[in-house]
Chains A and B, each alone.
Chain A
Amino acid sequence: MMAVTVIAIVLQRNLYSVVVLAGVYSFLMATVLVALDAVDVAMTEASVGAGISTVLLLGALYLCGGEEAKPMARPWLPLAVTLVIVAALVYGTHGLPAFSDPQAPIHTHVVPRYLGQALAETGVPNVVTAVLASYRGYDTLGETIVVFTAGIGVIALLRRARRGKGEEK
């Protein structure tokens, strides 16, 4: 179903339907993540991917029109680059440990400590929250700063554009 959605997105020329299909894709992705037991990520995907970004993209489309421009040239070089990268990634997956292999490095490094000690050390039953906010506090701080910077960037760009137009008039 996700593949069908992606093909529909690529073929579709009307950008409004592309945005709606992208929302559908996000919801499908969220269900896949629930099936993989990653409920926190699924929740984020559903709320951000399907909710907020759909609204923001529709707002952007309202500003700049809903029809996709015809491509200027046939993009053979980008296609070739993409195919090479896909081939390299597929080749790379052969080096990965098998799915849900208990001896995989990711399951033997810090995960046992997180899963075993998180409740005793932080008093927080949800391990995802414990890892996110406590063990990986620096990373989450970085993420918050990234979001902060994004907000500042949008303010800086759009404010200046508006003021520039005011001066022209």
Chain B
Amino acid sequence: MKRQVVLRVVGKLLIPYMLMFALYVQFHGDFGPGGGFQAGVITAASVIFYALIYGLPAARRVVPEAVVESMIALGALVYLGVGFAGLALGGNFLDYFVLDRDSVAGQHRGIFWVEVGVLITVAGVMLKIFYMFAGRRRED
């Protein structure tokens, strides 16, 4: 699909907005529908969209495999890190209210970082699966 001018132009126009929307879903998830999981999927979808239009090698240049693979682990580590931060500051595992002097602000901060962790892992896994599938050749 590399030669389709319409697709290339529309893709170039839409992908920034898709990423923007993913960030909106991520950070507005506290107030409206959305959260880390949905935002991660939308982020991965925008990169997959890019890969479908411009080809897999181009997408691999923009988001290299090594980055994707480390994202998978990084997200889970961020989540676990929030848990251990609560532990280190004198609460139980995954206690958020110790993360700030004000317990409500601490909760907010904990939820924020947890959602960031979910976003990173989900986006990484979705992209990695897509790369893995799309990178293989037909066997016959």
- Asked whether, in the complex, the Cβ of A126 is within 8 Å of the Cβ of B107, the reply is no
Decide yes or no: A47 and B129 within 8 Å by CB, A126-B33, A133-B111, A148-B76 being known contacts: no
Decide yes or no: A147 and B121 within 8 Å by CB, A51-B41, A55-B48, A137-B114 being known contacts: yes
Secondary structure call for the A interface: helix
- Asked whether, in the complex, the Cβ of A155 is within 8 Å of the Cβ of B132, the reply is yes
- Asked whether, in the complex, the Cβ of B122 is within 8 Å of the Cβ of A147, the reply is yes
- Asked whether, in the complex, the Cβ of B76 is within 8 Å of the Cβ of A128, the reply is no
Secondary structure call for the B interface: helix
Closest A residue by C-beta to B38? A43
How many residues on chain B are close to A (CB under 8 Å)?
52
Residues of B within 8 A of A55 (CB): 45, 48, 52, 130
Q: How far is the CA of A154 from the CA of B133 in the complex (A)?
A: 9
Of the residues A124, A144, A155, contact of B69 by C-beta under 8 Å: A155
Q: Give min CB distance, B111 to chain A, whole Å.
A: 4
Q: Give min CB distance, A153 to chain B, whole Å.
A: 10
Selected interface stretch from A56-64, A91-99, A106-114: A56-64
Residues of A within 8 A of B41 (CB): 44, 47-48, 51-52
Q: Give min CB distance, A165 to chain B, whole Å.
A: 9
How many residues on chain A are close to B (CB under 8 Å)?
46
When each residue 4-41 of chain B gets 1 if its CB lies under 8 Å from chain A and 0 otherwise, what string results? 00000000000000000000010001111111011001
- Asked whether, in the complex, the Cβ of A124 is within 8 Å of the Cβ of B30, the reply is yes
A residues sitting closer than 8 Å to B (CB atoms) are 39-40, 42-44, 47-48, 51-52, 55-56, 59-60, 62-65, 120-126, 128-130, 132-134, 137-138, 140-141, 143-145, 147-148, 150-152, 154-155, 158, 162
B residues sitting closer than 8 Å to A (CB atoms) are 25, 29-35, 37-38, 41-42, 44-45, 48, 52, 69, 72-73, 75-76, 79-80, 83, 94, 96, 103-105, 107-108, 110-111, 114-115, 117-118, 121-122, 124-126, 128-130, 132-134, 136, 138-140
